[in-house]
């Protein structure tokens, strides 16, 4: 009798345990494993040839890694900035009682359903200097028009930004739109009665009130930027030269094609730290804020 009661009490935890086990191993255990590998001289396979922290100075002194981090800073900041600004603008425009809102929203959001590989392949074609936009604009009579970003080492990173923003701007739009829809109407109509023009109401009242949405959009986009891999592979393969290498492509090629696994693991740890620095405080505050309610 008593043992069946105990069984009944243990059942929910038993149901949860396969997932907990899988996450404990697959997320936390594997993170620990990679950290340990980053302390070794592993080449093609993991080994336990301990070198302490020596892979990290090697990483920071590696010019390919330095390029990848610089590219990430350029790509990440432009990607976050452009998709937030574009997303906010789209949300405000759509929030003006537009009759075709549903159709437009569908159009702005469909890129999110695509694989980054598809996006990369299509934009590679569009940005192809010989056959893409450049050729089209020249055929309109602008004979000297140039759009060779994808073959120019200084500009290729902006191709990644462009395609990335094309893919995710709809997501920020959706976040801002739901923020706008959830806003306290009274504040806005009070300002309107005061006779203030609409743009000023946006500037002084509505946009400042969207601060929490800006934070969420930043967090979502920042972690997407750090994880970006497929898009670069499909659009530029990291080139021309090293012009569009990111930490993710550095990690992959260092580990699996250059067989320098210890160094690759160290770069993966740096990526994790970057994401954790953004996500952990955010998740912590979200879950804390929720506690009194539940």
Give the footprint of another protein on residues 78-137 (CB under 8 A). Answer: 90, 93-94, 96, 98, 104, 106-126, 131-133, 135-136
Render 117-179 in DSSP notation, one character per residue. Answer: HHHHHHHHHHT-TTTSHHHHHHHTT-TT----GGG-TTTHHHHHHHHHHHHHHHHHHHHHHHH
Q: How far apart are CA 201 and CA 112, in angstroms?
A: 31
Single out the residue of 57, 142, 146, 237 in contact with another protein (rule: CB under 8 A): 237
CA distance 271 to 230: 16
Chain positions 206 to 235 lying near another protein, rule: CB under 8 A, are 208-209, 211-212, 216-217, 220, 223, 226-227, 229-230, 233-234
φ, ψ at 167 (rounded to 5°): -75, -40
To another protein, the closest distance from the beta carbon of 94 in angstroms equals: 7
Residues 109, 219: Cα–Cα separation, whole Å: 19
Stretch that binds another protein, among 25-33, 56-64, 68-76, 149-157 (CB under 8 A): 25-33
Judged by CB under 8 A, the stretch of 47-55, 58-66, 75-83, 262-270 that binds another protein is 262-270
CA 85/CA 218 separation, integer angstroms = 11
Helix, strand, coil abundance in the chain, percent, nearest 5 = 75, 0, 25
Residues numbered 273-292 forming contacts with another protein, rule: CB under 8 A: 275, 279-280, 283-284, 286-287, 290-291
Interface with another protein includes 171 (CB under 8 A)?
Answer: yes
Q: Give the single-character DSSP code of 50.
A: B
Total of residues contacting another protein (CB under 8 A): 111
| 252 contributes a contact to another protein by CB under 8 A | yes
Q: Which residues between 179 and 198 bind another protein (CB under 8 A)?
A: 183-184, 187-188, 190-191, 194-196
């Amino acid at each position: 009798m008593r043992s069946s009661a105990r069984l009944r009490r243990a059942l929910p935890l038993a149901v949860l345990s396969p997932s907990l086990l899988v996450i404990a191993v697959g997320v936390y255990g594997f993170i620990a494993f990679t950290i340990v590998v980053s302390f070794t001289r592993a080449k093609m396979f993991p080994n336990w040839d301990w070198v302490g922290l020596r892979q990290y100075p090697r990483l920071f002194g590696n010019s390919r890694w330095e390029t990848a981090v610089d590219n990430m800073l350029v790509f990440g900041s432009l990607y976050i900035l452009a998709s937030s600004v574009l997303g906010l603008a789209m949300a405000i425009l759509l929030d003006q009682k537009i009759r075709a809102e549903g159709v437009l929203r569908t159009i702005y959001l469909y890129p999110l359903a695509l694989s980054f590989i598809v996006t990369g392949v299509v934009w590679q074609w569009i940005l192809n200097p010989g056959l893409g936009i450049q050729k089209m604009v020249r055929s309109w009579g602008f004979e000297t028009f140039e759009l060779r970003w994808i073959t120019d080492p200084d500009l290729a990173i902006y191709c990644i930004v462009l395609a990335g923003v094309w893919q995710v701007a709809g997501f920020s739009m959706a976040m801002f739109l739901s923020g706008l829809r959830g806003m306290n109407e009274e504040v806005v109509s009070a300002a309107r009665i005061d006779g203030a023009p609409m743009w000023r109401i946006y500037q002084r009242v509505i946009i400042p009130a969207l601060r929490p949405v800006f934070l969420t959009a930043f967090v979502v986009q920042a972690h997407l930027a750090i994880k970006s891999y497929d898009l670069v592979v499909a659009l530029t393969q990291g080139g021309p030269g090293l012009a569009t290498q990111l930490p993710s492509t550095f990690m992959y090629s260092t580990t699996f094609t250059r067989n320098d696994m210890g160094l690759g693991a160290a770069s993966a740890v740096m990526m994790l730290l970057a994401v954790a620095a953004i996500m952990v405080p955010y998740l912590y505050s979200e879950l804390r804020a929720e506690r009194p309610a539940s």
